């Protein structure tokens, strides 16, 4: 299975890193192309992937082409490539907001298309990833695409109607989680702890907390109650956070993310 990436930016780099380090395919069976030659040169140097000088030239060399450019650019690039080059290819898009029917309109009729929403934690093999397809993706091809993304995380097959929500709670949410960890660490710095040490400790505490939710299957509020000793430190902090509308602020952030994803779809 040969895999090509159009766009070698941050998300493509995260995916290529994950795919190569999982040894799913030999590194030179991963192809990259980008208008920015420095981006592809860096990936070649670091991961020994193959570089193509254009999307069109890459297409003849790969089975699966993953567009890792912005939602406005992807249809423009695809519609500029000769129809015959898409024969026996599957097109995968990871762009926020970009819907299957918009992609289909930019491609030859009946092209198999997979829509994916990954997240940047693919770098460490911990992405939560959504997948949906159009009607022309055969089961064996879907299984191959799933295998690619399972090499960097967990894949959830979801109806396309849930993608905006998924983008908020998985595609974008790592940024919000990093912000939360950084804010905890800054609180430690304010009170006199070294930032590097505080960040490491905050990250470990959040990682352990995520593991608790995943592995115990407990409702978060049960776990919150277990941390909150009567008259103790935790409840004092919770009161202050809620006084500043922590929960509704986070929900508004998720709403804004969902709305932006819908806006990007242009529908």
Ligand X SMILES: O=C(O)[C@@H]1CCC=N1
Residues near ligand NDP (CB under 6 A) are 6-12, 34-36, 39, 68-71, 73, 77, 94-96, 117-120, 171
Residue 112 touches which of ligand NDP, ligand X, none (CB < 5 to 8 A by kind)? none
Task: Tell how strand 127-133 and strand 113-117 pair up.
Answer: antiparallel
- Strands of the chain (E only): list them: 3-6, 30-33, 50-51, 64-67, 90-93, 113-117, 127-133, 153-157
End-to-end Cα spacing for the chain: 34
Residue number, nearest CB to ligand NDP: 9
Q: Is the dihedral of CA 74, 76, 80, 85 positive or negative?
A: positive
Q: Which residues, other chains included, contact 201 with Cβ-Cβ below 8 Å and sequence gap of 6+?
A: 185, 188
Residue whose CB is less far from ligand NDP, 103 or 141: 103
Residue 71 touches which of ligand X, ligand NDP, none (CB < 5 to 8 A by kind)? ligand NDP
* Of the candidate residues 99, 167, 185, 199, the single one contacting ligand X (CB under 6 A): 167
Residue whose CB is less far from ligand NDP, 141 or 152: 152
* Of the candidate residues 4, 75, 153, 171, the single one contacting ligand X (CB under 6 A): 171
* β-bridge partners, 156: 130
* Of the candidate residues 58, 91, 96, 155, the single one contacting ligand X (CB under 6 A): 96
Q: Contact residues for ligand X (CB under 6 A)?
A: 96, 167, 171-172
């Amino acid at each position: 299975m040969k895999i090509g990436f159009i766009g070698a930016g941050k998300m493509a780099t995260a995916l290529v890193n994950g795919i190569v380090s999982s040894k799913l395919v030999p590194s030179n069976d991963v192809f990259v192309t980008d208008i920015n030659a420095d981006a592809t040169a860096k990936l070649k140097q670091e991961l020994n992937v193959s570089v193509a000088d254009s999307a069109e030239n890459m297409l003849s060399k790969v089975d699966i082409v993953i567009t890792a450019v912005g939602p406005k650019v992807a249809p423009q690039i695809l519609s500029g490539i000769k129809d015959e080059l898409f024969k026996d290819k599957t097109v995968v898009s990871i762009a926020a907001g970009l819907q299957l029917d918009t992609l289909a309109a930019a491609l030859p009729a009946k092209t198999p298309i997979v829509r994916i929403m990954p997240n940047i934690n693919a770098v460490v093999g911990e992405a939560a990833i959504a997948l949906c397809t159009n009607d022309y993706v055969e089961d064996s091809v879907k299984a191959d695409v799933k295998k690619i993304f399972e090499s960097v995380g967990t894949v959830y097959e979801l109806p396309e109607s849930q993608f905006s929500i998924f983008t908020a709670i998985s595609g974008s949410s790592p940024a919000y989680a990093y912000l939360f960890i950084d804010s905890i660490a800054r609180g430690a710095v304010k009170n006199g702890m070294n930032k590097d040490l505080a960040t490491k400790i905050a990250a470990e505490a959040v990682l352990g907390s995520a593991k608790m939710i995943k592995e115990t299957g407990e409702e978060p509020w049960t776990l919150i109650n277990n941390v909150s000793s009567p008259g103790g430190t935790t409840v004092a902090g919770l009161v202050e956070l809620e006084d500043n509308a922590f929960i509704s602020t986070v929900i508004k952030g998720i709403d804004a993310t969902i709305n932006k994803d819908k806006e990007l779809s242009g529908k």
